[in-house]
Amino acid sequence: MKIFPAIDLRGGQVVRLTQGDYDRMTVYGADPCAQAEAFRQAGASCLHLVDLDGAKDGAPVNFEAIRAIAQQGGLYIEVGGGIRTQERIQQYLELGVGRCILGSVAVTDFDFTARMLQTYGDRLAVGVDMKDGRVAIHGWKEVSDVDGLDFCRRLYEAGCTAVICTDIARDGAMQGTNLDLYRRLRQTLPGLAVTASGGISRMEELEALDQMGTAAAILGKSLYAGALDLAACVRRCEKKG
């Protein structure tokens, strides 16, 4: 199982939101490049980047910060947040980003999403953010009436190879992740690569996710708060010693 430490960007700074609330934000640093390099030095091979301004407003506010991180090299990078056009996908991929994550647009324009999945294959993933089982969009500000598990099935049938699934209620809360959600996803859609995100705060959770066949896990606040040690997580989950 791959470990993706997370850098959430807002106004060019490294931040974390609590349960998707833009009014409950903690700033962890002013230099995203330095944070990415620190993760790499700790043994990470992958990095999860989110443009929070983009997710909320649809504009690539943090594009230059993402460009700078990509130019440093040494990490497989996935990027999400406000990616709603093919032009934006192409721009990120041309920076050297490994894959782009479609979010809100997958709900609001499924036909576009299906076309992009056919065009870019495994260079696209879809972020499925859930609140009470329903898909949330536009930086988690709006909860749709779309059932999350049904939506993942529809994406898979359209050619999606990977989803990044977040239980918003668990994100940033440091109270554990929703293991049952990921277990149901793995049982229902065994051919879909699932990345678990939101609330992972103990090594035992990572081990449980690994054992059920989860493809990857995203670690955010647990790293910044010191609840988990990135180097230890990488060694355990990526079997590096």
Which tens digit of pLDDT belongs to each residue from 91-148? Answer: 999 999 999 999 889 999 999 999 999 999 999 999 999 988 899 877 666 788 889 9
| CA pair distance 34, 40, nearest whole angstrom | 10
> Which of 164 and 240 is assigned the larger pLDDT?
164
Transcribe 67-78 into DSSP letters.
HHHHHH-SSEEE
Task: Report CA-CA distances (Å) from 46 to 11, 89, 173, 229.
Answer: 23, 19, 23, 15
State the pTM of this model. Answer: 0.94
Which pLDDT belongs to residue 241?
Answer: 41
Question: Residue for token digits 């049904």?
Answer: 150
Which pLDDT belongs to residue 110?
Answer: 96
Decide if 62 contacts 92 (C-beta within 8 A). Answer: no
Q: For the chain, which domains are there?
A: 2-237 (3.20.20.70)
Which tens digit of pLDDT belongs to each residue from 9-45? Answer: 999 999 988 767 788 889 999 999 999 999 999 999 9
Decide if 44 contacts 5 (C-beta within 8 A). Answer: yes
Query: How many other C-beta atoms lie within 10 A of the C-beta of residue 21?
Result: 13
Which tens digit of pLDDT belongs to each residue from 49-72? Answer: 999 998 887 778 899 999 999 999
Which tens digit of pLDDT belongs to each residue from 177-224? Answer: 999 999 999 999 999 999 999 889 999 999 999 999 999 999 999 999
| DSSP state at residue 18 | E
Decide if 231 contacts 41 (C-beta within 8 A). Answer: no
Could you tell me what percent of the chain has a pLDDT over 90? 77
Residues taking part in catalysis: 8, 129
Phi-psi region of 75 (alpha: psi -120 to 50; beta: other; left: phi over 0): beta
Residue 79 β-bridge partners? 49, 100
Helix (H) or strand (E) holding 5: strand 2-10
